Amino acid sequence: MKALVILLLCAATAHAQPWAQGVTEKDQGAAQALFADANKLFAQEAHAPALEKYTQAIALWDHPLIRFNMAVTLVRLDRFLEAAEAIDRALRFGQAPFPTPEQYRQAVDYQKLVGGRIGEIEVTCAQAGAQITLDGKQWLACPATKKVRVLAGEHALVAEAKDFMTRSQRLVVTGGKTASARVELDRVETVATYEYRTQRWIPWSVAGSGAALAAIGVAIWFSGRSQMDDFEENFARECPAGCDLDDAPALRDQRDSAQFKGNLGAGMMIGGGAVLVGGAVWAIVFNKPQRVLPTVESTPAGATLGASWRW
């Protein structure tokens, strides 16, 4: 595209034009002076100071030619969204404000240039209470439909609502096109799953092993207790007046065996009980189920599940 011509206001016919209605001659004169200063700064490539002068001129007189030069300056500053607004305002009266057809075509060419760098996002949501952010900034309170101009490229929508899954969505906007999205959130309970730190059977198996060990211990203890009863009967019958068990090895062995079984059974009951309690505590207290929620991300191709989070 050829270089932009810095336009001059046509004050001679300004009073008869719709873009001059309600603007005093004093304000028109002040706006033209600021416009001329801005054009000089633009020619010196002092774009930021030029933009400031154009803005001051617009505040006095919203003339299409000032808007056009402002748009060109914004393009030079890579501020395409603002440039699109300015160029649309510059062309709102068509060709009439432009001194020549060539300058009008130049403005239209700039509009096409800027239009290729921006697009629109239109979002609809129906769930009351949901909040949507666009590129990290609060943007839309649902239920509503909203459209906004954005730079062409990828943009991020995030929708949140109490008791609903947060959904993030990536929208790819093409220059001059509108990317549309309808946001619907899933309730937490419909997508939540539950996971255990340890497979559920492991702590319960430990508890069961403890119970089995304790049960065996009980059986051995009772066996020892029964054997001790037999020893006492045999001792009373064979040694009514008392005797030294070293002289009665059968009785001594019977007593020692009964004591061993009693001690072994008691130890197994204590150990098995401890294992039983430990396994139960592990299963009930330390292996509680955790609710796991997937992070839902929507892409242009559809929804995908991302990293999960839990509590």
pLDDT of 292 over the 80 cut:
no
For residues 27 and 307, the model is more confident at 27
Domain positions in the chain are 11-115, 118-191+294-310, 197-286
Question: Which amino acid, one-letter code, is at 282?
Answer: W
Strand partners, 73: none
| Each residue's pLDDT tens digit, 99-116 | 999 999 999 999 999 999
pLDDT, tens only, 40-49: 999 999 999 9
Q: Are 42 and 69 in contact (CB under 8 A)?
A: yes
pLDDT band at 224 (very low <50, low <70, confident <90, very high): confident
Residue-wise pLDDT tens digits, 231-242: 888 888 888 877
Residue 302 in this model has a pLDDT that exceeds 60: no
Does residue 139 contact residue 82 with C-beta atoms inside 8 Å?
no
**In this structure, which amino acid lies at residue 121?**
I
pLDDT tens sequence across 31-40:
999 999 999 9
**Element of type H or E holding 302:** strand 302-310
Please state the rounded mean pLDDT for residues 126-138. 93
Residue 226 main-chain phi, psi, to 5 deg? -65, -40
Q: Is the pLDDT confidence value at 77 over 50?
A: yes
pLDDT grade, residue 179 (50/70/90)? very high
Quote the mean pLDDT of the chain.
85
- The domain made up of 11-115 is a member of CATH 2.40.10.10: no
Share of the chain above pLDDT 70, in %: 87
At a CB cut-off of 8 Å and minimum separation 6, what does 28 contact? 11, 14, 20, 60, 61
Mean pLDDT of the 248-268 span: 87
Q: How confident is the model at residue 132 (pLDDT cuts 50, 70, 90)?
A: very high
**The CATH number of domain 118-191+294-310, selected from 3.10.180.10, 3.90.10.10, 2.60.40.1120, 1.10.10.10:** 2.60.40.1120
Give the distance from CA 33 to its chain's centroid.
51
DSSP state for residue 100 in the 8-state scheme: S
Which DSSP category does 18 fall into? G
